[in-house]
Structure 1
Amino acid sequence: MKIKRKTISGPGVLVAAAFIGPGTVTVCTITGATYGFTLLWAMLLSIIATIILQEMAARIGLVTGKGLAGVIRETISNKTFKAFAIGLMLSAITLGNAAYEAGNLSGGVLGIEALGLSGGFTIGNLTFNAWSISLGILAAIILFIGNYKVLEKILVTLVIIMSLAFLITAVMTKPDVIALLKGSFTPSFPEESLLTIVALIGTTVVPYNLFLHASLVSEKWSGKEAIPAARRDTIVAVVLGGLVSMAIIVCAAAIQAGEVRNAGDLARSLEPLFGDYARYFIGLGLGAAGLTSAITAPLAAAYVVQGCMGWESNLKATRFRVIWISILVLGVFFSSVGYSPVEIIQFAQVANGVLLPVIAAYLIWIVNKRSVMGRDTNSIVQNVISVIIWCVVFMLGARTILKVFGIL
């Protein structure tokens, strides 16, 4: 099979669309406003780690023709370990994504409201946000179509809008290029910045993206012949996503520390630099970020359940749709009524803190099994880099758990 496509498209863009959500926008905003360019190196490190892990996930998907959850379920022979892995994946991804979906939709609403649009209505004692429901319906329509090519085109368009919005805004701030390069390539640890560094890595190296990527590559391509195309697609898309994240940090760095607490403040705070254009650029970027993540989070949860249960891969299958609809409905409800599901989010943080190093370990193990991968196992260099990344994500997971329990 000859692969000719070299443009920015494919599963890699969907992965980039998934990790550049409102949470990433907010974390990058606070990072730039508080520390300027000094933590850009942490984002660069996150980009490299994401490329390595996502490439392995995509390679597994192409060689096996299955999703990551399904491969893990079939490869682990010990019943106890298998039950632990399935339980961890189901709880962390499905319940976690339901909680994060509310944040994705709320972030999208924040972008719409930054454009000067608002709306709501009351039923009984509950007040609903009309834009949150509208975004949920739009995400449902896109997912219900169940056609990978349509989904890809829509998300590519949204990613381009989001990328242009933040990149243009960053250029308009006229950053100090020397300081920008120094912050990108010289690691530094300003006072009380450790948890911010952890947050930057955690919003980029996302566990559910590994499952999403392994499943989506088989929707677009077939067989190991597509590995070079998938690798190129992953590198280009993740680098683009990383540049967008870095652009958000640059935008926020143009504001004096303390003026910006979230992405909504970023739009308002940049207005003195270039007027209402800031509101439109940030509003469009944040709205697109919210919608792309609102689409990919339920989709990833459905793929995980499908793999754990051994269901056939089919975007249009009723039970597949039931899963993503359930995640989407929960997210719309929590976002619309303004409810913050603190306990669920804390559980998701703990579960994902355990899940990321576990899944990274499974990735390294599976991608080195010749019985599964044949000749497409990791090279020595890939394994060395992978182990280093695993050590980083292990520390990330440990610190996330300790933070949730108030130990840090």
Structure 2
Amino acid sequence: MDTTNSPSSTDTDDEPRWKIVGPGLLVAATGVGAADLIATLIAGSRYGYTLLWCAILGCIMKIVLVEGAGRWTLATGHTIFEGWSSLGRWTHWYFGPYIVIWGFVYGSAAMAGTGLALAALLGGLSVAWWGILSALLGLTLVWFGHYGLFEKVITAMVALMFVSMVTAAAIAVPNVPDLLRGLVPTIPDGSVVYLLSVAGGVGGTITVAAYGYWLREKGWNTPRFMRVMRIDNRMAYVITGIFVSATLIVGAELFHAADIAVSTGDQGMVDVAEVLRDRYGDIYGTLFLVGFWAAAMSSLLGVWHGVSLMFADFATELRGLPGDHPDAQAGGRYFRAYLLWLTFPPITIIFWGEPVWLILAYGVLGAVFMPFMAVTLLWLLNTSRVPDRWRNRWWTNVALALIALAFAALAVTEIQKAVSGVL
């Protein structure tokens, strides 16, 4: 849906629409990691198709948020962090600790996800060592590669993710009447936590804000690309919606119908592969594990590239340097410094455990990010910082306000989980 008046369709009529899918697919693929898939699988295993509507709602919410981030970048020529800075120094005090702590903890989680997938697929090494090798591979690709290569690699991984999960859903034979009933909003008893997790987990947290940086890397940097950006964003989340719906179908048919529990954590993905192997043969279990690895690795690569760009922008903004300064670009010293931060310090968590205070800070700061994103977009896109043509319309403001409230509710839940998990 367009949230403002659209420019002429001639911006995109000269090329097929599939060719303009790029940054949106990166943001969607990066945001859908192993943790989101597990949450959706568990929801499907416990409630069948009842929360399918919630997965679709989550995609719609992310379309609105990502479109807002992209519209800000194209309409103003400024990054999202430059926009936050214009709201006051308080944004620095929140975002600075968040991006540093988040990167440290996420780096370990990304290694665990990729490592578990490769250990289940190939064996030979421990989960930790496969994860470390995955992180080093991501570091090498992002350090020496260029945006075009990065986009092609992520697109290939999305194809693997999509084929594996949709195949798993197809061979599980969805119950169509139940599936259709799942499109009607219903909240079963005790499902609120899962409802919020499914809706909130479709497409990431901090990686949503990376969209504008990837638009710049793609060369889409003026209002002329507004229509292209919107098509890119919608198509990416349609693909994501199908993928997440397929994940819920797998949970509903393979686990809920058979009354089998899904393990929490990344191990749940291995459970699915084992059930597929037992019922349908090794080829399907292996294909699913390949898709699991692709989901985990695409998230790792997306964070290594996109969040490093955000950190570079943050660091140069603090120094008062312009947004086009070399230090703010991919390959600059701050970009590479954050790459190293994502790759090497988190190894300590793998081998020596997770500091309680760090996990608490990670949970609290991370839970607040999506409400922060929604509220600041409401603020920025209704002011003179944005040309009138590209400001929010009333329906966009309503949508962003509802999204802010929904993610605030999710934040309360996540903070409670983080606190209870360390006490």
Q: TM-score, normalised by structure 1?
A: 0.90
Secondary structure, in 3 states, of the residue corresponding to 1:384? helix
Looking at both structures, which has the greater relative contact order when contacts are Cα pairs under 8 Å and sequence separation is at least 6?
1
Residue segments in structure 2 that go unaligned for 5+ positions in a row? 1-9
Per the TM alignment, residue 340 of structure 1 is displaced from its structure 2 partner at its CA by 4.4
2-structure distance, mates of 1:105, 1:246: 26
Secondary structure, in 3 states, of the residue corresponding to 1:370? coil
2-structure distance, mates of 1:324, 1:70: 21
Q: TM-score, normalised by structure 2?
A: 0.87
State yes or no: 1:91 paired with 2:97: yes
Q: Any conservation in 1 of the 2:213–2:310 contact (CA below 8 Å)? A: no
Per the TM alignment, residue 119 of structure 1 is displaced from its structure 2 partner at its CA by 0.7
2-structure distance, mates of 1:245, 1:330: 32
2-structure distance, mates of 1:341, 1:243: 37
Corresponding residue for residue 237 of structure 1: 236
Corresponding residue for residue 167 of structure 2: 168
State yes or no: 1:356 paired with 2:362: no
1-structure distance, mates of 2:204, 2:355: 20
Per the TM alignment, residue 116 of structure 1 is displaced from its structure 2 partner at its CA by 4.2
2-structure distance, mates of 1:7, 1:27: 30
- Residues 1:206 and 1:129: Cα distance change in structure 2 (over 3 Å): closer
Corresponding residue for residue 197 of structure 1: 195
Identity, % of aligned positions: 23
Corresponding residue for residue 333 of structure 2: 318
2-structure distance, mates of 1:230, 1:224: 10
Q: Write out per-residue CA displacement over residues 8-66 of structure 1, whole angstroms, 9 at most, x where no aligned residue.
A: 63110111111111111211121122221111111111011000000100111112223
1-structure distance, mates of 2:273, 2:291: 10
Root-mean-square deviation (CA), in Å? 2.1
Per the TM alignment, residue 343 of structure 1 is displaced from its structure 2 partner at its CA by 3.9
Q: Write out per-residue CA displacement over residues 240-294 of structure 1, whole angstroms, 9 at most, x where no aligned residue.
A: 1122112111112222334321111111122232111232122111111111111
AA matched with 1:368: N
- Residues 1:151 and 1:332: Cα distance change in structure 2 (over 3 Å): farther
Kindly tell me the number of residue pairs found equivalent between the two proteins. Answer: 392
Give 1:32-181 correspondences, 5 Å limit.
32-73=44-85, 75-76=86-87, 82-120=88-126, 129-181=128-180
Deviates more, 1:143-152 or 1:295-304: 295-304
Secondary structure, in 3 states, of the residue corresponding to 2:389? coil
2-structure distance, mates of 1:86, 1:214: 18
Q: Any conservation in 1 of the 2:374–2:401 contact (CA below 8 Å)? A: no
AA matched with 1:299: H
Residue segments in structure 1 that go unaligned for 5+ positions in a row? 77-81, 121-127
Deviates more, 1:148-157 or 1:264-273: 264-273
1-structure distance, mates of 2:277, 2:198: 26
State yes or no: 1:19 paired with 2:31: yes
- Residues 1:338 and 1:245: Cα distance change in structure 2 (over 3 Å): farther
1-structure distance, mates of 2:68, 2:381: 7
- Residues 1:182 and 1:330: Cα distance change in structure 2 (over 3 Å): farther
- Residues 1:342 and 1:263: Cα distance change in structure 2 (over 3 Å): farther
- Residues 1:338 and 1:293: Cα distance change in structure 2 (over 3 Å): farther
1-structure distance, mates of 2:235, 2:46: 29
Corresponding residue for residue 259 of structure 1: 261
Q: Any conservation in 1 of the 2:28–2:204 contact (CA below 8 Å)? A: no
State yes or no: 1:347 paired with 2:361: yes
Q: Any conservation in 2 of the 1:97–1:298 contact (CA below 8 Å)? A: no
Corresponding residue for residue 405 of structure 1: 419
